[in-house]
Structure 1
Amino acid sequence: MAGSLAELPPNILSEILSRLPIKSLVACRTVCKTFLDITSSNPFFNSLHSSKTAPNLIIQLGSVHNPTRLVHLVESGLDTAFMSGGIAELKLMFRIPNYPSRYFERYHVHTGEENNFVLVNSCDGLLYFAERDVCERSFVCNPIMKEYLTLPEFDKERNRRQLTMGSWFGFSVGDNQYKVLRIFSTLTGRPWEIGFKQEFWAQVHVVGSSLWRDIANQPPSEYLTWDTCFTLLNGTVYWLCRYPELSKFIIFFDFHQEKFGEILPPLELGTGWQINQHCMSMGVLGGCLSVTVNTEFLDIWVVEKSSGQVSWTKKFVIDTSVHMGHHLIEGPFKPLQILSNRHIILMMIWSDDVVVCYDAKERTFKFFKLNGVRSVCRSVMLRPSFVPLKDALMVDNVVVQNSQ
């Protein structure tokens, strides 16, 4: 018999620790060296924990133009937390670091300590933040480990009239590299002059390197920005096109091939989707890319790729006229997760402090307020990772935050 919990065989101890809630597991890592070693850079534990843990809802408070420095987590027990009551509790996980203030003479702008870093997307347990204003700096962090890495700024001196439209973080399985895609525009001349020209380009940064590299494949749309509805899945970032570009449905970028492509809409949608784009959103359900269309009914489509072929399937048709004390307005719903007990978790885009849980069997809705939240700047789903950032990104210059 083991004299203490720490003396149990490693495989049994891993099994026990992998079942703990995230905040409890983080606390256990500070108890003793045995717990820390088992949960750090341990492929067996990481695989075990990932198989038992549902993705967590991560949110940044505030607005896109006035984000806060606080990043919160709604515990992975969406199954239990969202079933037990009408309030979802938030837990502070990460504080966006302060960056040195700078004065940009050509913009006549001074950047203070409250930099406007906005949560862009998640990938493999990591979060990517970008400063969307003048500086356009960015960093990658592991909110569970409270570690972050600042990425190099792009070479703006090459063309001082560049404007970053957006940047996204992803992983290339074929290259075994984390990369950042940046889409930007260049200006030639002035808008009121003959010969004025605005062109759109793309660059890729391999995390761990010091440069941004131009790619030959130009963006197929000038409307791919941070504010475009997008989703990252299996090494590819997808954008759901909106007004004013009615001819395109979904555009994607493959991080491995470093090429853009396009996915056509389901034939059943006909041309109706072009006038209902304001009622559409995109997410990931059951490991597949999904698109929701909320008009008379809330239709959820999933797309699957096989041997280069794309196929659409309408998985759910939800009657939004059947609700429980809450008006389901016409507008986009962001699919977040399918729970093991047939429930679908969605977020109301136009009321981003409300999470909706739909029971596919009973055909009923439950609505959950995020406790103490007035507005959400950004929300993503994250499957926590206990792999140190230096090992995940294969870099050395990682900063560790003090325990909060």
Structure 2
Amino acid sequence: MKSVLICRCVCKYWNTLISDPNFANLFEVLEPNNSSSTKLHPKFEIPLPIPKSFQSERVYVNVNSCNGLFHMRWSIDRDISFVCNPITGEFIRLPKHPPILTPCQQISWRFGFHPKTNQYKIMRIHIFKHDHRIVVQMHTVGTSTWINIEVDYPKHLRYVSEHPYYFNGALHWIGRDVDRNASIWTFNFDTEQFQFFSNTPTGQGREAMADFRGSFCFMYFNELLVSMWMMERYGVGESWTPIFEYSITTSQLPSCIAYHENQEFWIFGTPWHDVEVHGKFQMIHHVPTLIPLKNIIIGDNVEVQNIYSLDNLYLLDNLN
């Protein structure tokens, strides 16, 4: 990827060629992401100058990643939200979402993609535990509007996970009833509807969801055991199949599980290291892409800008 970006600086013709959407799509096909070559860099820095007008101490950046694009929410007593491609420097500023006047117990953000429509969606998820209600504010990137979707979830659920997992064009939440039996809630981007999976594997410990070789998986892990089930037919609760079980021999829970094509599972988690952190941090999974943002714009009401433009540097420094 780095060498391709350097080639953009050779001449105008090469820059135009590499910036073409067809080149980006072809590059994705010929150079797919290879997880076995992923490297973890122990230290790197990204300078983030704070605009002069932002003097509040309540400054934070929330980031979600999808298909090489970032949704970044920059809050200083108000929300400023962008979708950007960090490789090309392009960004789109999103319209402000309408306010939700009723206080809620949980708010989370998610960024997803639906392959059938080729659309990216931003979701602001409100969970009202007192009356068992979920309100989703959804924005299709490249448009200028938000829509509200509301649904009641079963009253027997006493817990709904704060951060949903994205898979197969849908968001997935884990819910638990009073007996701590787990179930799965999904929200489909295509139909814009919720679905409830009551049949999940039984186990002890914390639950997690994962994507294994293109199939939806469910995990339990505790101080003694890590176990994983795969849903062979998505949406069919009777198709859960156990595929992995690992006995933990130390007192430390695994922080990462990786699979290699030689059918080996790698467990990471020991030894522990102290990491010096200045401020809050967030771990983001990112696969670089060259796809331009103009490919996802609907209509003519949204402008694609670039951080490398002097005008936009001035804009970021003088946001009101």
TM-score by length of 1: 0.60
Matches of 2:18 and 2:272, distance apart in 1: 32
* SS at 1:257 equivalent: coil
* In structure 2, C-alpha distance between the alignment counterparts of 1:223 and 1:133, rounded to whole Å: 30
The residue number in structure 2 matching 1:359 is: none
2:317 alignment partner in structure 1:
none
8 A Cα contact 2:132 2:152, kept in partner: no
Contact 1:178 1:393 in 2 (8 A): no
Conserved? CA contact 2:92–2:303, under 8 Å: yes
Q: Report the CA distance shift for 1:372/1:284 in structure 2 as closer, same or farther (over 3 A).
A: farther
The structure-2 alpha-carbon separation of the partners of 1:343 and 1:153, relative to structure 1 and needing over 3 Å to count, comes to farther
> Which amino acid letter does the alignment assign opposite residue 59 of structure 2?
N
- Alignment check: 8 A CA contact 1:229 1:281 kept: no
* Aligned: 1:340 with 2:268: no
Q: Could you say if the C-alpha distance between residues 89 and 314 of structure 1 is closer, same or farther in structure 2, counting changes exceeding 3 Å?
A: same
* 1:332-388 deviation per Cα after TM superposition (whole angstroms, max 9, x unaligned): 6454x5333445466xxxxxxxxx2xxxxxxxx887979976898333433321011
| Residue 298 in structure 1 maps to residue 226 in structure 2 | yes
Q: Does the Cα contact within 8 Å between 1:166 and 1:182 map onto a contact in 2?
A: yes
Q: Which of 205, 227, 237 lines up with 2:171 in the alignment?
A: 237
The CA deviation at 1:297 is 2.5
Q: Kindly state the Cα deviation for residue 291 of structure 1 after the two structures are TM-superposed.
A: 2.8
1:213 aligns with 2:147: yes
Letter in 2 for 1:402: Y
* Structure 2 equivalent of residue 362 of structure 1: none
Q: Whole-Å Cα distance in 1 between the matches of residues 76 and 266 of structure 2?
A: 32
Match of 1:117 in 2: 61
Q: Given the superposition, is the C-alpha separation of residues 297 and 199 from structure 1 closer, same or farther in structure 2, using an over 3 Å criterion? A: closer
How far 1:243 sits from its partner (Å)?
8.9
1:31 is aligned to 10
Distance 1:328 1:222 in 2: 29
Mark the CA change 1:222 to 1:266 in structure 2 (over 3 Å): closer, same or farther. Answer: closer
Separation in structure 1 between the aligned mates of residue 274 and residue 308 of structure 2, nearest angstrom: 27
Q: Are 2:279 and 1:401 aligned? A: no
How many equivalent residue pairs?
Answer: 304
- Structure 1 stretch 242-251 or stretch 45-54: which is displaced more? 242-251
Q: Specify the SS of the correspondent of 1:128.
A: strand
Partner of 1:183: 125
User: Bigger shift: 373-382 or 172-181?
Assistant: 373-382
Q: How far off its partner does 1:50 sit?
A: 4.5
Query: In the TM superposition, what whole-angstrom CA distance separates every residue of 1:255-287 from its partner, at most 9, and x where no partner exists?
Result: 1111122223544x2xx44xx12xx32232222
Q: Counterpart of 1:169? A: 111
SS at structure 2 position matched to 1:377: coil
SS at match of 1:54: coil
Q: How does 1:4-403 map to 2 (within 5 A)?
A: 22-43=1-22, 45-54=24-33, 77-78=37-38, 81=39, 88-90=41-43, 98=50, 111=56, 115-119=59-63, 121-131=64-74, 134-156=77-99, 159=101, 165-184=107-126, 200-218=134-152, 228-241=162-175, 246-267=180-201, 269=202, 272-273=203-204, 276-277=205-206, 280-295=207-222, 296-306=224-234, 308-310=235-237, 311-321=239-249, 327=250, 329-330=252-253, 333-335=255-257, 337-344=258-265, 356=268, 377-394=281-298, 396-402=302-308
Amino acid at match of 1:340: E
Q: Partners in 2 of 1:168 and 1:210 — Cα distance? A: 18
- Any unmatched runs of 5+ in structure 2? 314-320
Give the partner amino acid of 1:49: E
Unmatched segments (≥5 aa) in structure 1: 1-21, 57-75, 83-87, 103-109, 188-195, 322-326, 347-355, 357-364
- The alpha-carbon distance between structure 1 residues 197 and 261, as it changes in their structure 2 partners (threshold 3 A), is closer
Is residue 74–residue 80 contact of structure 2 (8 Å, CA) maintained in 1?
yes
Kindly report the root-mean-square deviation, in angstroms, between the aligned alpha carbons of the 2 structures. Answer: 4.1
Partner of 2:316: none
When residues 314 and 96 of structure 1 are mapped into structure 2, their CA distance, relative to the original with a 3 A threshold, is farther
Instruction: Find the residue that maps to 1:379 and give its secondary structure.
Output: coil
Identity level (%): 24
Secondary structure of 2:108's aligned partner: strand
CA separation of 1:243 and 1:368: change in aligned 2, threshold 3 A:
farther
Normalising by structure 2, report the TM-score.
Answer: 0.74
Q: Is the 8 A contact 2:133 2:152 kept in 1?
A: no
